Amino acid sequence: MKTQILKKKIVKIFHKYGLSKNHSSISADALINAELVGAYGHGLSRLKMYCDRISKNVINSKAKIKIKKISQSITHVDGNNSIGFVAADTAIKIAINNAKKTGIGLVAVKNSGHYGLSGYYAEQAVKKKLMVMVFTNAPPAVAPHGALKSLFGTNPICFGTPTGSKIPFILDTSISMINRGKIRVAAREGGKIPEGVALDKFGKPTTDPKKALEGVQLPIAGFRGSGLAWMVDILSGVFTGGNHAGRVKDPFTDFSGPQNIGHLFFAMKPNLFVGNNFNKRIKDNIKKIKKLPKIKGVKEILYPGQNKFNRYKNNLKKEIKISKNILNDLNILLK
Amino acid sequence: MKTQILKKKIVKIFHKYGLSKNHSSISADALINAELVGAYGHGLSRLKMYCDRISKNVINSKAKIKIKKISQSITHVDGNNSIGFVAADTAIKIAINNAKKTGIGLVAVKNSGHYGLSGYYAEQAVKKKLMVMVFTNAPPAVAPHGALKSLFGTNPICFGTPTGSKIPFILDTSISMINRGKIRVAAREGGKIPEGVALDKFGKPTTDPKKALEGVQLPIAGFRGSGLAWMVDILSGVFTGGNHAGRVKDPFTDFSGPQNIGHLFFAMKPNLFVGNNFNKRIKDNIKKIKKLPKIKGVKEILYPGQNKFNRYKNNLKKEIKISKNILNDLNILLK
C-alpha cells in the first residue's frame, strides 16, 4: 500500500475512535515510521491494540496535555493518559526548544503510554542538530539479577547525535537479551533459543523456548544489564511521576487502567564545549573507527542507526507490505 | 596500615613530586577510597604510575585548572593536564553547585587524566542529595563490534541516586565483558577464560587466555555494548574537547604525552518533577524489587552500590592491607 494512502486510512481510524485530526496524524506518522525502519513490532501490528485501549477508556482520546514550565531548560509534561505518541511528540518538541534557547532541555513525562520507538523521537532532535538521550520504561519483561520474576521492561537506552552526514547516529538498545516474540516463534516452530537469554521457572538456564516462556527473560550482561534497566526505571518512572517497579500494564492484555508510562528526554547543543569544531570532531571519530581492521566477513563497521536509516531509505521507495491479518484489522477498524 | 597514616604518606609523596598540598590530599583520598571499596585496580597499585607520569611531565604537577562558565547550569573545565582526580573533583563540585542553583548541572572536562572510579564522584553528588550521571573514556581495551582491533576504553556508564537510606544507588558499570587483568591471571595460571569475552588475533572466539591477549576483548552484549561504548566516547570525548576514537594513551606504558581524557558530569535535583514524594517513590521502588521471588541460592536482590558500600563500611573498621610490592613502591617513592 502506498504510504500516503496508508496514512489516510490510519488517520481515519484514529479520528473515528475519537482522537483529534492532529493527534491522529502524529500517531499515524509514528506507526508508519516503525514500518519503514523495519521495526514491525512497533508498527501496524499495534494499531488494533491502541483502538481497543481507546474503546475501553484506558487511553484518553480527548487528552488535554498539561505543560508545566519549571525553568527555561526544564519542563514537566502530564500526558493525561493520551496515546503515547502524542505525549512524547509534545515533550521532544519542548526539549528541542529548551535546548535551542539555553543549551540544554530536560523534559519529563508522566501519564503517557507506549510511544513506539525511542529512536523516532531522538531522530527529531538530531534533525534539529542536537544531541539527545531518551529513556522510557515499559511493562515487565526482564527479571532483575537474582530474581525469578520479570519486573523491568525492555527499558531501552537511547542516544542520538548529529554526525556531520545525512545518516544520524541513533543508538536505541533494549536491555533484554531477546525479544519475547522470538521466543514465541521458536516455541511454535519447535526450535531452540540461544544459551544465556532465559531461565526456566526454577531459575535454571534453558534453551527450550517453552520452558523459557514459563520462566523469565534475562537482561544483557547479567548484573550490569540489570543495573542499567534499573537506572532506566528510576530515570523514566520514579523521577518523572510515571509508574515504575513493574506497575506499567501490558497494553495488549491488561485493560484495567491506563499504563501511566514515564519518559525522560534530555537534549543538548553539541557545540556547547567545542564550538564549530563539533562536526569535524564527530566525523573524525566515525572515520577513525570505520577504518579499523575488520573481522573476516564484516564488510563495514556500522555505527548505530546506519542500518535503520538504510532500511528506511529503501522502504520509502516501495509500497508498504501489509500482511493479511493486518489488512483484515484495518478493514474492520475502518468500518 | 591505618588509613590516617597511609593518607599522610601518600600526601607526602604527591607533594614531593610537586603537587600542592590540596591536590595531594584530593588524590590521596581518591586512592584510599578505591582501596576501601575493594577496587584495588584503581588504588595504590597506580600510585607509582602517577608519580612516573608527573616525573616525565605528562601529568602537570602545577596544573592551573581553567573554569569557563557557559550558563548558570553549564560549565566547561580545562584540566590543564592535571592529575585526573583534581580535574574531576573540581568538575563534580561545580556540577553539584549548578544543580543546587538551577535544578541541573552539566559540566564537561577536557585535558584530564585517569581519575579512578566514576562511582567515587557520583557518590559526592548523591551525598548532596542529587541524581547524577558520569561518563569518561579511557585507553583502548575493547574492539568495536565487527573490528579486529581495540579502540574503545572500558568506558563506564555511571548513574547515582539518593535512595532515602544510608546506602546510595551507584551503578558504575564497565562495558567490557572482562577485565584485562583477569585474562593475564588466567594466562599465568594456565586457566581458561569464559566463552564470549574475547577473540583471538584472527577474530575467532577463544577461551585460551594467551590467544585472547594477542586478540581483542569484547564489549558486553555484542553490538549493543559496542554502541554504548561508542556513546560514552562521544559524550566524554568528542563533546567535551577531550581525546577520543582510541587516542587516549595507556597511562602505564605510553609517556609520549598527556592523556587528555574527557569526562562529563550531569547532576539533577531528584525532586524536580515529583517534589517531596521522591524519597517515598524511590524507597517503594527498591522495596518492591527486593521482595521479588529469588533464584535458588540468592539471599537478597542487591541494588548497584550496596555491595561496595558494605565493603567500604567493613574495611573502614580495619587497617588497610598493603602487599609487599606496594609497600616497596611506597618506601621508594617516599625516599
What is the pLDDT averaged over residues A70-92?
Answer: 98
**pLDDT band (50, 70, 90) for residue B182:** confident
What distance in Å separates the CA atoms of residue A135 and residue A127, rounded to the nearest whole number?
Answer: 19
The pLDDT score that the predictor gives to residue B179 is 77
Task: Kindly report, residue by residue over A225-275, the tens digit of the pLDDT.
Answer: 999 999 999 999 999 999 999 999 999 999 999 999 999 999 999 999 999
CATH number at B12 reads 1.10.1530.10
Set of chain B residues whose Cβ sits within 8 Å of the Cβ of A302? 146
Mean pLDDT of chain A: 95
Q: Based on the fold, state whether residues B101 and B198 are members of the same structural domain.
A: no
Residues A279 and A237 in one domain: yes
My answer on whether A20 and A169 are in the same domain is no
Grid coordinates representing B8 are: 599522610
Share of chain A above pLDDT 70, in %: 100
In this predicted structure, the answer to whether residue A99 has a pLDDT above a threshold of 80 is yes
The CA distance from B114 to the nearest CA of chain A, in Å, is: 20
**Same structural domain, A82 and A126:** yes
pLDDT at A184: 83
Q: Give the pLDDT score at B158.
A: 98
Please report the pLDDT score of residue A156 as a whole number: 94
Residue A206: closest CA among A228, A230, A226, A178: A178
Instruction: Indicate the residue among B187, B218, B249 that finishes a domain.
Output: B218
pLDDT at residue number B18: 97
Same domain as A125, residue A30: no
Question: pLDDT at residue A181 above 90?
Answer: no
Q: Within this chain, do residues B18 and B150 fall inside the same structural domain, yes or no?
A: no
Which of A100, A163, A273 should we substitute to test contact with B (largest number of B Cβ atoms within 10 Å)?
A273
Chain B: give the shortest CA distance to residue A335, in Å: 42
Q: What is the mean pLDDT of residues B200-214?
A: 92
Identify which of A321, A334, A257, A328 has the alpha carbon closest to the alpha carbon of residue A81.
Answer: A257
Mean pLDDT calculated for residue range A28-43? 94
Q: How far is residue B260's CA from residue B310's CA, in Å, rounded to a whole number?
A: 34
Is any Cβ of chain B less than 8 angstroms from the Cβ of A276? no
Instruction: Compare all CA atoms of chain B with the CA of A305 and give the residue at the minimum distance.
Output: B227
Is the model's pLDDT at A179 over the cut of 80?
A: no
A73 and A93 belong to one structural domain: yes
pLDDT at position A98 = 98
A224: closest CA of chain B, how far (Å): 6
Rounded Cα gap, residues A20 and A236, in angstroms = 27
Residue B184 pLDDT class (50, 70, 90 cuts): confident
Q: Tens digit of pLDDT for each residue in B220-237?
A: 988 999 999 999 999 999
Pick the last residue of a domain from B164, B193, B218. Answer: B218
Other beta carbons within 10 angstroms of residue B33's beta carbon come to 18
pLDDT of residue A187: 87
Buried b (16+ CB within 10 A) or exposed e, A288-320: ebeebebbeeeeebbbbbbebbeebeebeeeeb
- Is the domain of A225 the same as that of A214? no
Reading phi first (left if > 0) and then psi (alpha if -120 to 50, else beta), residue B305 is in left
Q: Is A200 on the interface with B (CB under 8 A)?
A: no
Chain B positions touching A110 (Cβ under 8 A) are 273
Question: How many Cβ atoms sit within 10 Å of the Cβ of residue A128?
Answer: 17
pLDDT score, position B98: 98
| Averaged pLDDT score across all residues of chain B | 96
- Residue A143: pLDDT band with limits 50, 70, 90: very high
Q: Which three cell numbers stand for residue A167?
A: 545518516
Q: How many domains does chain B have?
A: 3
Question: What does the pLDDT read at residue A284?
Answer: 98
pLDDT band at B178 (very low <50, low <70, confident <90, very high): confident
What average pLDDT does range A105-134 have in this prediction? 98
A118 plus A108 within the same structural domain: yes
Q: What integer is the mean pLDDT of B112-141? A: 97
A224 close contact with B: CB closer than 8 A: yes
Q: Are residues B152 and B238 in the same domain?
A: yes
The pTM of the full predicted model, rounded to 2 decimals, is 0.96
Residue A201: give the domain boundaries.
Answer: 177-218
Q: Do A294 and B131 touch (CB under 8 A)?
A: no
In the prediction, which pLDDT does B246 show? 98
Mean pLDDT, residues B5-34: 98
Per-residue pLDDT of A305-331, as tens digits, reads 999 999 999 999 999 999 998 999 999
Interface of A with B in 92-151 (CB under 8 A): 102-104, 106, 108, 110, 131, 143-149, 151
Per mean pLDDT, which range of A54-58, B72-76, B294-298 is the poorest? B294-298
Q: Are strands B104-112 and B74-78 parallel, antiparallel or unpaired?
A: parallel
Q: Does A252 touch chain B (CB under 8 A)?
A: no
- Residue B265, chain A, CB below 8 Å: the answer is no
Average pLDDT over residues B293-307: 96
Mean pLDDT of B31-52: 94
Instruction: Write out pLDDT tens, residues A280-294.
Output: 999 999 999 999 999
B75 has a pLDDT exceeding 80: yes
Residue B245 pLDDT exceeds 90: yes
Report the alpha-carbon distance of residue B203 to residue B6 in Å, rounded. Answer: 45
Q: pLDDT tens digits, residue range B264-285?
A: 999 999 999 999 999 999 999 9
pLDDT at B188: 84
Co-location of A198 and A261 in the same domain? no
Across the interface, do B246 and A288 touch by the CB < 8 Å criterion? Answer: yes
Q: Pick A228's closest partner by Cβ from B73, B157, B289.
A: B157
CA neighbor of B148 nearest in space, from A13, A326, A293 = A293
* pLDDT band, very low/low/confident/very high, at B177 (cuts 50, 70, 90): confident
In this prediction, residues B37-53 reach a mean pLDDT of: 93
The CATH number given to whatever domain includes residue A210 is 3.30.60.50
Which 24-83 residues of chain B touch chain A by CB within 8 A? 70-71, 73-74, 76
Are residues A280 and A311 located together in one domain of the fold?
Answer: no
